[in-house]
Structure formats: C-alpha cells, structure tokens
Amino acid sequence: MKPVFLKPQDKIAIVAPSGRVFSEDIEEGIELIKSWGLIPVLSKNLFRDYDNGYHYAGTDEERTEDFQNALDDEEIKGIWCARGGYGAVKLLDHLNWDKFIAKPKWVIGYSDITAFHNHINNFEVETIHGITAKRLNTNYNEETFLTLKDALFGKNLSYEIPAHPLNKTGTVTGKLVGGNLSIIYSLNGSESFIKGNDLILFIEDWNENWYHIDRMMMNLKRCGFLTQIKGLIVGSFTKMDVEEENPDFALPYDGTAYQVIQKIMGEYKIPIAYGFPAGHIGDNRALIFGREVSLEVNQNSVILNFKS
C-alpha cells in the first residue's frame, strides 16, 4: 500500500518516538517543510525529557500517545520523526495500527526509526528512509533535502552513483527494505523483523565496533535471512570503532567495516553495491522502503530505480 503523496497545505506531524529533542534542534527542519508549503504540527509531548538511563523524549506512555495521535488524526498526512537515538521499539506493541493500515500515511526518518520502517513494511505499507527533523552536526548535500521532497510529493526517484571497488555486479528487482543494521539485528525474533522474499536489503550504521558489525552480520546469516535477499546496498558506516585506532573514523564509508561485510557476503551470489549515499552522513538521500526497485551494479556505476 502506497500512502497518498503530499500536496501544499497538507499537515505533517513532528513526533519524537526516541531520544530527547530540544526546540532549537528542529528549527531548520520546520523551516524546510514550511518552504515546501507544508504545515508542521508539533506533537503535545515533543519536548519532554524522561531520564531512565537514557534521555527519552518523554515516558513510553507520552511518546506512544503522540505517535498514536499522529497515526489516527485524519488531517495529518505525514509523520516526520524528530530524531533517532533509542526508544522507538518500546512503542511498537502499544500502538493501534488499524486506522493507519486502513488509510496509511508517510512515516519518515532513519537510524532508530528503522524499527518503524521494518514493522510498517510488514503491513505492506511503504515508508521513507530519510533525514529526521533534527540534523547531524555536519554539512548537508542539497540532494538530501530535494530527494525527500521528491519522495513525499510523488516525484519518481532514481539514483546513479559511481562503482565501488568492492561491488559485486548483477541486475535484480525486488522490494527495498532495511535501515540501520543495529536496529534490524535487535528486531530479529520479533514480529517486527523483516519478512518476505525477493528483498533488496539496505544497511547503514555508525558508532559501532568492527567486531559488532561482524556479530550482527553473522546473526543475519545464521538465522537464514541473508538467503532471502536478492541484492544488498551498503550505505554509510561512520565513526566506527575507536577514533585513535581508525584512520577512517571521520570518513563516511569505513573501509574496515566494509571488509567485514564483504567477507561474510562472499558466499552469496547476489549484486552488492557499496558506498551508497544514505545514512548518518550529510548526503543522506531518501529511500522508499517497501517499494519495488531495480538494482543494476555494473563495472562503472550503480543504478537504483524506484518503480512507480
């Protein structure tokens, strides 16, 4: 199911289902969607702080209330998550999805919002992996914003990027799924873990140890999930391991993390594209999860086309 594309004067809710957010964190995000003609609606508990070993944007009940209100309000046409961090998974089992499934709307975000992507995609509803209202402390490529706008307003997405030395060539079609590797791994064994076959998996991550990347990929291998995918797209792996010991620490695409992934994926005869511009970086291009895509990995480039 494809949510209805947005149009000027549509209302878009800004909610914080994970980490604490301050008003100044989302000022630029609010101005951005206003410039697109959209009307931002701030959730009631958006700027709450609940400290329980981590600074959440309110209690589980407060965050659930805000997300449920956004799901059920028929005037709200999109739900833009304020930030990632941790906490989205704690809401999933407390939300009533009936109205949303009957009349889906766009849910937008990345990082911890992967929990929502995977859960919602299992309803056969599309979501948008893209920037949150709160930005990282980095310089942003204009494509980050333009591609999110295109996705929300129904303009077809198509990407062509240069080939990466670790790529495995091939052409395949399938449903694009995935998100943050740590969150995907944490959902394994639950109803929110990615389901289906003929999948093209996208992964990205940051602030992880190299051995943990190996652990998570081994988990996906041993549970049989990697046999369900027809292609793999590897986005940014940033700020990996220990800064003093990693010469790639400040780079968007960590070489050692890529080698860990390549070693585990070596036995799978599927096309693999490394270095895709999406994740915890300034060039974080929008991806429509749950949408059928074609992936072509050739000697010179990677071409990702989203079916209309």
pLDDT tens, 196-225?
999 999 999 999 999 999 999 999 999 999
Q: What domains does the chain contain, in order, with CATH numbers? A: 11-135 (3.40.50.10740), 158-306 (3.50.30.60)
Q: What is the mean predicted confidence (pLDDT) over 276-283?
A: 98
Q: Give, to the nearest 10 degrees, the angle between helix 255-265 and helix 210-222.
A: 20
The pLDDT of residue 308 is 86
Torsion 242-247-250-255 (CA) sign: negative
The predicted pLDDT at position 221 comes to 98
pLDDT tier at 1, thresholds 50, 70, 90: confident
Residues 4-18 have pLDDT tens digits of 999 999 999 999 999
- The predicted model gives 26-54 an average pLDDT of 98
